[in-house]
Structure 1
Amino acid sequence: MASDTTRVLSPAATAAPAAMPAAPARRRRGMVPLEPVSPTARWLLGLAFFVLFVAVWAFFTLGGYVSPTFLASPITMVQEAWLLFTEYGFLHDIGMTVWRVLGGFILAAVIAVPLGIAMGAYKPVEAFLEPFVSFCRYLPASAFIPLLILWAGIGETQKLLVIFIGSVFQIILMVAVTVGGARKDLVEAAYTLGADSAGIVRRVLIPGAAPGIAETLRLVLGWAWTYVIVAELIGSSSGIGHMITDSQALLNTGQIIFGIIVIGLIGLVSDFIFKAVNRKLFAWASL
């Protein structure tokens, strides 16, 4: 006779627990949102767009759908580019434009970065400067050209000041936002370890904001290239903008397009260089 303590288990009770349904495998067909691509694929895709752009351009111009007066073909543009380098000293124009961009941009950065750090670190300084800087940030640099010609003439100083005005206020505000977004726990920890106000700025705020400041300078450098062309359109005897103005008077769209492409290529190269330097200096920021 079975013991009273013996428990009779039903087949359902003795069966192993049912396994949970397996999660559906993620499909990888086509493009997946937020899925990264390899560096090789990124380069190939970027190059493919340029190839497609030139193909469409050649189709409409060489096919006779667009008049050469309004848009030169890629072949005509290459021929005009050769003339610019061999007969018209275009390398000198490129050098002058690069010098103006770098000169005005460096002058703006030297003044704007310390002011931005001060605004981000000290709220009284921010309250004092932020309304004026925000006001000036919306003023177009090209609107100052008539005044700058009166004040500085049509020489290099006027062109440097156009780039300076177009860059300095943007850098100040963007740097101030970057510095002001520092982690409060790091600041409190530094105070706990005995740091004073100057030490907080020097050892916590600036190192923490350095990658963001470098990224800000990279972005504003791209904007500086748009200001230099405006500066060179008026009262200039050299530079890419000067060449574009002369070509417009002659209805030479091939040279105009080539000048625009050169600006884009130089800006793209400078952007890549800036990115490479930032990755080398602040490799820890991407971890």
Structure 2
Amino acid sequence: MTSTAATETSGSSRTGRRQRSVIPEPISRRRYLGIAVTSFIVVLAAWWLITALGVIDETFLPGPADVVRVIVETATSGQLWDDMGVSVWRVMVGYLLAVVLAVPLGVLSGSSPRAEAAIEPLTDFIRYMPVVAFVPLTIIWVGTEDTQKFLIIWLGTFFQMVLMVADAVRRVPRSYQNLGATLGMGRTGILVHIIVPAALPRIWDTLRLCLGWAWSWLVVAELVAATSGMGYRITQAQRFLATDTIIAYVIVLGVLGLVFDQVMRAAGRRMFRYLEGRS
């Protein structure tokens, strides 16, 4: 009897430990924002302290005040807004071209074994090729105008997007497809009315993540043979060791990427509100 009780106690304690180790429930929106803002403040304070104490020469790491001054000056002169406009245009065109082509191919690859065999090995092969190596080739192919920038951003996002969309489609439970077949739907009907809507939340997350990569490839696209844009301005600043301008533009790029990411995240919460509370 004592042994049984001890066993039950031991089992319940192990169960309790397992329950305590489970991932906690989501926190409130206000608390989330508070923690997020605090993390930014901590990084900013550490940056200010390092530069104020002279741990690193200001030539290599200027203080926050110097960077803010550059942002204000370039914004006042209009240079920052011009560079932002050009860069946003290039990112969105290259990214949207990737979306238009990658989503249908990903859906086809994820829903058809034959299409998967035809698309995924080749896509997987190309995605391991460094995009930077294509920069001189793209200049030879299409010149140095915006088309070359679009192509670099497209190359950096398209192949990853195809594979991730296909994976999102394959994650749709087989029971959903069986239900469609039970209702008398054909393969096209099951794909259009069941598989794609069920995979859409994951596809949207894929598009959001790939947009972040598009912003990363923007700088690569504008490093060579560019005469405008944020990446071009960073390259120009590097030649004169203007690290305050480099950091200022990098921060603005981060802010732009964060804004676009949060807009897509908010749009996803609105479109897929029915997923809230699902275990």
TM-score, with normalisation over the residues of structure 1?
0.87
Match of 2:194 among 199, 204, 217: 204
1:233 aligned to which of 217, 223, 231: 223
Q: CA RMSD in A?
A: 1.9
- 1:275-286 equivalences in 2 (<5 Å): 275-286=265-276
The Cα of 1:86 is off from its aligned counterpart by 2.3
Distance, in Å, in 2 between the alignment partners of 1:280 and 1:262 is 27
**1:66 equivalent in alignment to 2:56:** yes
- Asked if 1:114 is matched to 2:104, the reply is yes
| Contact 2:176 2:195 (C-alpha < 8 Å) held by counterparts | no
After superposition, residues 156-171 of structure 1 pair within 5 angstroms as: 156-171=146-161
Alpha-carbon separation, structure 2, partners of 1:185 and 1:247: 57
Q: Equivalents in 2 of 1:58, 1:221: separation in Å?
A: 31
User: Does the CA-based 8 Å contact 1:171-1:220 persist in structure 2?
Assistant: yes
The 1:214–1:170 alpha-carbon spacing in structure 2 relative to 1, beyond 3 Å, is same
Question: Which residue in 1 is equivalent to 2:67?
Answer: 77
1:178 maps to which residue?
Answer: 168
State the distance in 2 between where 1:32 and 1:201 align. 39
- Structure 1 segments, 4+ long, off by >2 Å, are 31-38
- 1:245 corresponds in structure 2 to 235
Q: How far off its partner does 1:37 sit?
A: 2.4
Residues 137-178 of structure 1, C-alpha deviation per residue, up to 9 Å, x if partnerless? 111221111000001111000000000011111111111111
The residue type equivalent to 1:137 in the other structure is R
**1:187 corresponds to:** 177
Note if contact 1:142-1:227 (Cα within 8 Å) is conserved in structure 2: no
Q: 2:261 aligns with which of 260, 264, 271?
A: 271
**What residue number does 2:23 align with?**
34
Q: CA deviation at 1:32?
A: 7.6
* 2:117 is equivalent to residue 127 of structure 1: yes
**2:248 corresponds to which of 246, 258, 267:** 258
The answer on 1:213 being equivalent to 2:207 is no
Distance in 2 of aligned mates of 1:278 and 1:50: 25
Does the CA-based 8 Å contact 1:232-1:242 persist in structure 2?
yes
Aligned partners of 1:112, 1:148: CA distance in 2, in Å?
20
SS of alignment partner, residue 23 of structure 2? coil
Specify whether residues 38 and 159 from structure 1 end up closer, same or farther in structure 2 by C-alpha distance, changes over 3 A only.
same
Higher Rg: 1
User: 2 CA distance for matches of 1:257 and 1:89?
Assistant: 16
Higher helix proportion (structure 1 or 2): 2
Kept after mapping to 2: 8 A contact 1:154/1:236: yes
Structure 1's 245 and 88: CA in aligned 2 closer, same or farther, altered over 3 A? farther
Shift in Å at residue 34 of structure 1? 2.3
Which residue in the other structure is 2:85 paired with?
Answer: 95
1:145 aligned residue (127, 135, 138)? 135
Aligned mates of 2:43, 2:237 — CA distance in 1? 23
State the partner residue of 2:5: none
Shift of 1:88: 5.8
Which 5+ residue runs of structure 1 have no aligned equivalent? 1-19
Matched residue count: 263
In structure 2, how many angstroms separate the alpha carbons of the residues matched to 1:260 and 1:191? 52
- Cα pair 1:104 1:161 within 8 Å, conserved: yes
Q: CA deviation at 1:283?
A: 1.2
> TM-score normalized by structure 2?
0.90
**Counterpart of 2:184 in 1: which secondary structure?**
coil
